[in-house]
Amino acid sequence: MSGILPDGCRLKVHLQMPLICNMDPPCPYCGIYRSLHSDDVPPVTDVRRWFVALDDLSRKRGPLHVACLHGEPFADRDLMRVLGRLSEHNLIDCFSNMIRTADVIRESFGVPENLWVTASFHPHHWADVASFAERVADVRSMGVRCDRVFLVAFPPNIPRLQGWIGELVEIGLTPYVMPFTGELSGARYPEAHTDEEWSLISRYLAERFGEDGFMTSRKGRLCRAGIDIVFVDTDGAVRSCPSGYAHDLGNLLDGTMRTLDAPRPCLAPHCQCPDLWRLIISD
């Protein structure tokens, strides 16, 4: 199988659920969530329909790697109940700011050993890394895999970034540093990151985006997206990847979903999706 799939999983299903954020105050570096509150976004309304569709896909294809890796999935209790039931026979993979994660896991996941939580560290919320580490330890105590952490290279935070990374590594978390995207003090990022800042960012991006970085074009090379991984929108529509150059693959909720029968050339000028570079077939 492809290097993107964990052992035993036959297909990765990336759920593009509504963006929900329960950070209060919101992150100063995340424009997507800056004016977004959890009450503004509807939860997964038809919980049973989503569970039936994903459970049926699992029965047909074998164990799934179901990922929800943006926003704060643990803020949507209905979604967590769906994923909790699916965790009995599938691997569930979610982002989390770790604020209320442990409580939701206890409520929703009967098999927490089949849950993989990728932490995101937001310095404006935590007094220090030690308080964040307590939440990580609580989640791990239930048998949940939690060994990755994301940070954003927000320019005002960069002088302290290396220190935070060192402390996070000490508690067993592999760090990934994302460039800041947006405007700050009249400058547009990520273009305005200095060479020194890019050196730090690139050091922690390679594992997720490849040694060539996420701005490197892989256009024209054969890719297994749509075979080993699919992306599902909130209406059930399925695509081979999140770019504007994806192949349409039917709909999960109405039973018309399909996967590609062979690798296809990448059509995107730049593949900016974490881990999808692993699907590119070597020349």
Name the pTM for this structure: 0.86
Residue 241, domain member (yes or no):
no
Whether the predicted pLDDT of 235 surpasses 90: no
Domain that holds residue 56: 11-204
Residues 31 and 130: beta-carbon distance below 8 Å: no
How far is Cα 104 from Cα 259, in angstroms, rounded to an integer?
A: 32
**Which residue in the block uniquely carries the two structure tokens 């080993």?**
228
Residue 274, domain member (yes or no):
no
- Higher per-residue pLDDT: 13 or 198: 13
What average pLDDT does the segment 23-34 reach?
66
Residue 37, domain member (yes or no):
yes
What average pLDDT does the segment 156-175 reach?
95
Residue 217, domain member (yes or no):
no
Residue 97, domain member (yes or no):
yes
Residues 176 and 150: beta-carbon distance below 8 Å: yes
Query: What is the CATH classification number for the domain harbouring 171?
Result: 3.20.20.70
**Number of folded domains in the chain?**
1
Whether the predicted pLDDT of 191 surpasses 80: yes
How many residues are listed for the chain in this entry?
283
Residue 17, domain member (yes or no):
yes
Residue 230, domain member (yes or no):
no
